[in-house]
Structure 1
């Protein structure tokens, strides 16, 4: 059995051929087709046609509010033209093979719970730093979807209510682009020219980068404290490609310890903070888990 697994990020579409043993047989990435519905379907159809002789199904990880059980997408995150539709059924009619669609942050959490840094953990939260802020919640060993499949939509959490523009929301403070855009603005350069690699390159020798990182991590720590007050989990994992930067995780941990120390009168237990073991691959692993659980178990 070989499955085509797609992780539909807001910047990159990562895809892989994987087998039932969760081996990566092939793995690549292309730019995300977020510009139009036509390009979205054409891009995915082209990938399917490229591998259709080898695969027996398609597993998709997608940002946004997704009802995995029935394959219904209420909204597709960065893919703003995807809303209120049975997207799984549309793809099955197009591909003539089994398809699954699941929220990307839930996929990351599932992948880490089965194979990575959440093995054996019963209560946890994933925070995925990407084009926005993805999230998922594990309660008693199971994904908590909420009453409307809307749990973990962390991007829209209000962080700074005094602001009237987008900067009031969490994604404006702790997304991947929030980090790189602040540096681009400081240097008066095109934000598209600043990648995570450029930002973290020689960061120990750049006081301006350190200042931006410290503010970023302080905002993240405040949000983590609020989440812990609500869910009281054992562990919180940080995902997305940027999570593999040790200085980021170390600084988040430092800021988390500070705020929990400051708020110790409320007796909120500080959770363990760690990166996703498999970084962006967690989404692919989790998407395949969803597919196998639905069609082969």
Structure 2
């Protein structure tokens, strides 16, 4: 009988969850709103979901993808991004006490890289970088076929790189190269209420008819390109994969390449820049892969 596993991808807005076979084939999947500040509600929602799957299937374990600095040995999250309920908490221990199943937890950016290595656009690569561009910037580094976690499980936290020296409040990549930073600058340019919700694709559509918006995107892309360039020259990977909602913009990669061509030494470090294959499913697939690797090692 083929083994079945539950995977969660905990985000700042939604919790995606699924039941999968060991090879990453989805049996079923769904999602619900994240209780970002209420730990007891967040746990209750997860336990309810797990019990629903268990009522119809024999489940062998649970893999979880979530933001933050995650100690994969213990399951402790020193930080948890916008999911503040999980900050300085051990979700592995908390869930194992309630559902009587083994649980493993991994950083969401690393899970994207694991999914791409399984059967995505890095399945033939041993050395690559995934960069996710969204509310912030994250990702994963794979060297010699393994995730680079770093000394204190902070490997792949690209968003903290300084990419705009001297810019008040916008020095780090999170604050000048993320989609949310582009949206923030667009609102300022257009005089839009800061609390309004603007989708990134709206800005790209606007750029076709407004030169000021087009210039804004060019400036944003220069910061995106700077960060990617820094990673390329530091780690010399086989390829770099771009994920996050903005990666769906059709001409984005070509626009990025235009920025690289402006950099003096890009010719010496040129490499393929591709989209991630897996979109909303990446976190769940990667969480499963992490669970399997941890239990195999044990």
TM-score (ref. length: structure 2): 0.88
Change (3 A) 1:238 1:293: same
Alignment root-mean-square deviation, CA: 2.3
1:143 Cα offset (Å): 1.1
State the match for 1:83 in structure 2.
87
Distance in 1 separating the partners of 2:199 and 2:34? 16
State whether structure 2 residue 4 is matched by structure 1 residue 2: yes
Note the 1:158-177 alignment, pairs <5 A.
158-165=162-169, 167-177=170-180
1:18 Cα offset (Å): 1.7
1:257 Cα offset (Å): 2.7
Change (3 A) 1:215 1:163: closer
* Counterpart pick for 1:129 among 128, 133, 139: 133
Change (3 A) 1:198 1:277: same
Deviates more, 1:43-52 or 1:58-67: 43-52
State whether structure 2 residue 269 is matched by structure 1 residue 269: yes
1:198 Cα offset (Å): 3.2
State the match for 1:33 in structure 2.
35
Which structure 2 segments of 5+ residues have no match? none
State the match for 1:243 in structure 2.
247
Change (3 A) 1:215 1:36: farther
Other structure's SS at 1:65 match: coil
State the match for 1:103 in structure 2.
107
Distance in 1 separating the partners of 2:261 and 2:35? 40
State the match for 2:225 in structure 1.
221
Determine if contact 1:171/1:178 at 8 Å carries over to the other structure: yes
State the match for 2:236 in structure 1.
232
Change (3 A) 1:89 1:249: same
How many residues are treated as equivalent by the alignment?
Answer: 292
1:201 Cα offset (Å): 4.2
Determine if contact 1:34/1:78 at 8 Å carries over to the other structure: yes
1:160 Cα offset (Å): 2.7
State the match for 1:281 in structure 2.
281
Determine if contact 1:244/1:279 at 8 Å carries over to the other structure: no
Deviates more, 1:118-127 or 1:209-218: 209-218
Change (3 A) 1:138 1:296: closer
* Counterpart pick for 1:178 among 178, 181, 191: 181
Which structure 1 segments of 5+ residues have no match? none
